[in-house]
Amino acid sequence: MNSLTNTSKLRSGDARAPAPLPPLPLRIMIVNDDLAIRLRLADLLTPHCPGAVIDSCSRSAAVGLGARLREYTAAIVITDMAPAGPGEDPLAIVANLRSQSRALIVTVIGRGGHERSAVDALRAGAADYWALHNVDARELVGFLRAQFLSTSLGMPGAAGETGPFIAGYRLVKELARSTQATLYLAHSDELDQPVAIKVHRHHERAESSDEEQERFLRECRLLSQLNHRAIADVYDFGVTDECHWLAMEYFPCGSLKARLQNPVAEPEAIAYALQVGAALKVVHAAGIVHRDLKPSNIMLRADDSIALIDFGLARPTIGSSDLTAPNVRVGSPSYMAPEQVQGTPPDARCDLYALGVLLYELLTGELPFRGTTIAAMLDQHLHAPVPVLPEPLKRYQPIIERLLAKKPEQRFDSADGFLEALAEAGGDPPARRKSR
């Protein structure tokens, strides 16, 4: 493994990020056989954990620490996920370190892994896994702080540090944040397993009326009754003085958005699209419109099956102020149907339009409509013609045309029609398209 400088996009945090958090008595051991890599990571972590002690050593030296390992709060193991030789396990050191110190918080930073690497690391005993190219130093330190507070200080969920207090759950770290909600990794006391909790804080909204809370609870009940593998399992939900929240299945393999960072084979693209279509069929039959279908809301399991999350429990809106306000992070406009752009209440056909955007992206690696600003992108949805697929993919053009029709009545009437058309067009696609 070469140095982090040459092989990684490891970030020390956004220059505009908040100031480092107050000191905590963390003691961190960085484990890797390359001294340059260890020193590089230590340099990146130091600004975000004032007062902490950061040591480093080789793998063999870490194993040789024995009882002295208990002096450390956490170990960060940087490892090549591909075995160096037959019979070698790159994650064996995780179990070895944990056996010497059960309280040790072990985080794995993996190079050359795949979608199942996170699952493998967690099963080996790691508390968290990061792909080498996607590590954020500030977030990594924040995770270690949260773990330290919730275990060493006995705080149920480390509410002041990580998020609101929700009885029966210990919030571990923040996974994602939008203007309307925050997604956390948490541990369920009842299930004794990791779960994902989506939190809508009341103070982050102008108000939380009885009507809004009742709609939230009604949709949660509907979702919890859905029984389909392509829809995330809902475990629990509720309303507190601080927030309303939803606990659901956790997906350590990440989302389809991350998967799309690399080329997708045509058979894989069709398989993903068929699964999403099947999920929409179930959702629409239950009277639910997703309203925000996009790759980051499609999660992957270890067997490469998908599951939809985030069913528009807080109805997304976008007005003129959203188009001009600076520093507003908006992901949905890339997948927004023309009627949504125009402010018309969406129905199931807006989900089929978003599915058309997704199918085009899966097949080509590009979005069908792009713009340098959100306003320009939305104008493309309203007025631009449907792009033409490359010649090897022309069999799917009629489906793309139907899905991306500007008028809802020109699209498929239901997900059933899409599934039938895609299955018929799929045939025996080529084994793989070339990498971009």
- Count of structural domains within the chain: 3
Query: Domain residues for 163?
Result: 155-248
Distance CA 60, CA 216 (A): 52
Q: Return the pLDDT at 149.
A: 65
Same domain? 278 vs 421 = yes
The band of 132, judged by pLDDT with boundaries at 50, 70 and 90, is confident
Q: Which of 236, 292, 310, 351 is catalytic?
A: 292
Q: What are phi and psi of 307, to 5 degrees?
A: -145, 135
Calculate Rg over the CA atoms of the chain: 23
For the stretch 12-35, what's the b/e string if a residue is b when 16 or more beta carbons lie within 10 angstroms of its beta carbon?
A: ebeeeeeeeeeebebebbbbbeee
Q: How far is CA 408 from CA 254, 273, 344, 369, in A?
A: 32, 20, 11, 18
Distance CA 289, CA 345 (A): 11
Instruction: Tokens 């009437």: give the residue.
Output: 413
CB 248 within 8 A of CB 309: yes
Q: Which residues contact 376 (CB under 8 A, 6 or more apart)?
A: none
Task: Among 248, 280, 307, give the residue marking a domain's end.
Answer: 248
Is 108 inside any structural domain? yes
Q: Return the pLDDT at 123.
A: 79
310-334 average pLDDT score: 46
Is 436 inside any structural domain? no
Least confident residue range of 52-61, 325-334, 414-423: 325-334
Same domain? 95 vs 210 = no
* CATH code for the domain of 215: 3.30.200.20
Is 230 inside any structural domain? yes
Based on the residue annotation, tell me whether 89 is a catalytic residue of this protein: no
* CATH code for the domain of 83: 3.40.50.2300
pLDDT of residue 328 exceeding 80: no
pLDDT of residue 332 exceeding 80: no
pLDDT, tens only, 351-366 = 999 999 999 999 999 9
Burial of 145 (0-12, 13-18, 19+ CB in 10 A): buried
